Amino acid sequence: MKKKLFFFAFLCLLLITGCTSSNKIDKIKRSGKIKIFTNANFPPFEYIKGEKIVGVDIEISKKIAEEIGVEEKIIDADFDGVISAIASGKADIGIAAITINEKRKEEIDFSVPYFKSTQFLILPEESNTKTIEELTNKRVAVAIGYSGQIALEEENKNGALKENPSKITHINSISEGILELKNKKVDAFIIDEQPAKKIILENPEFKAIKLIYKDGNDISEEYGIAIPKNNPELLNIVNEVIKKMIEKNEINKLVIEYS
């Protein structure tokens, strides 16, 4: 009898889980909107222009909404807030140039990669720093939750800077990192390639170089769209949209357009 009850309970659990997963798209369609969380502080992927949030990721999100047949509702949040909103189910998808990594996969699912990037150093024009190893004892700004923070903290703890770590300054935004550099409170600022290029266009007193080790290797990463776990139908739709855009070279064109 106990075995039969256990089997029945297990079957019910499977049914409930399956329904929760498959009904995500139905729920979005019933509401007429897809809730998309982003962090509008990362040009050219998402940033505020006038009163609107624009950028590469916003254009991708529009395509996803169109594919489902609903409107997109864009919600601006702290970068860490984007991940937590997906993990908690508060958001339908998260798109904010989110680097795919194993730790995040414990909380959320990722789409196929849609863009490859590397980490860059923003430095005063007169700086002689060229490699990760040369960040020893340097004051370095990193944005909280961004890949630069993860990479530098790992280098300090277990990597090239283990013996003589850099001095990390945690910041909340790109603009804050620029200000720290301008006020000479830090010696360098780590950020992804595309925003780095935009920073030096607007701040000629700085230069941007690829963050590399002395052997020439860099720190590369891939961006993916975050999806709440166990939502295969939504994930499939997002993946199909990305694949079609990549095939037509639309994402690279958007990067150029918004840079």
Is 16 contained in some domain? no
**Residue 247 C-beta-side C-alpha neighbours within 13 Å:** 6
249: enclosing H helix or E strand: none
pLDDT given for residue 178 in this prediction: 95
Say if residue 126 is in the same domain as residue 199. yes
Is 254 contained in some domain? yes
Say if residue 41 is in the same domain as residue 109. yes
Is 11 contained in some domain? no
Distance separating the N- and C-terminal Cα atoms of the chain: 66
pLDDT given for residue 18 in this prediction: 43
Per-residue pLDDT 10s for the chain (259 aa) are: 444 444 444 444 444 444 444 578 999 999 999 999 999 999 999 999 999 999 999 999 999 999 999 999 999 999 989 999 999 999 999 999 999 999 999 999 999 999 999 999 999 999 999 999 999 999 999 999 899 999 999 999 999 999 999 999 999 999 999 999 999 999 999 999 999 999 999 999 999 999 999 999 999 999 999 999 999 999 999 999 999 999 999 999 999 999 8
pTM of the model: 0.83
Domain region containing 60: 27-116+222-258
pLDDT given for residue 43 in this prediction: 93
Say if residue 206 is in the same domain as residue 131. yes
Say if residue 184 is in the same domain as residue 243. no
Is 124 contained in some domain? yes
Edge-to-edge strands, sheet with 52-54:
41-42, 46-49, 52-54
Neighbour count for residue 164 (Cβ, 10 Å): 12
Say if residue 37 is in the same domain as residue 97. yes
Say if residue 125 is in the same domain as residue 248. no
Is 152 contained in some domain? yes
For residues 211 and 132, is the Cβ–Cβ distance under 8 A?
Answer: yes
Neighbour count for residue 60 (Cβ, 10 Å): 25
pLDDT given for residue 4 in this prediction: 47
Nearest 10 degrees: Cα torsion 42, 43, 47, 48: 130
Say if residue 163 is in the same domain as residue 214. yes
Residue-by-residue DSSP string for 122-151: EEETT----SGGGGTT-EEEEETTSHHHHH
Report the domain count for the chain: 2
CATH code of residue 210: 3.40.190.10
Is 8 contained in some domain? no
pLDDT given for residue 24 in this prediction: 84
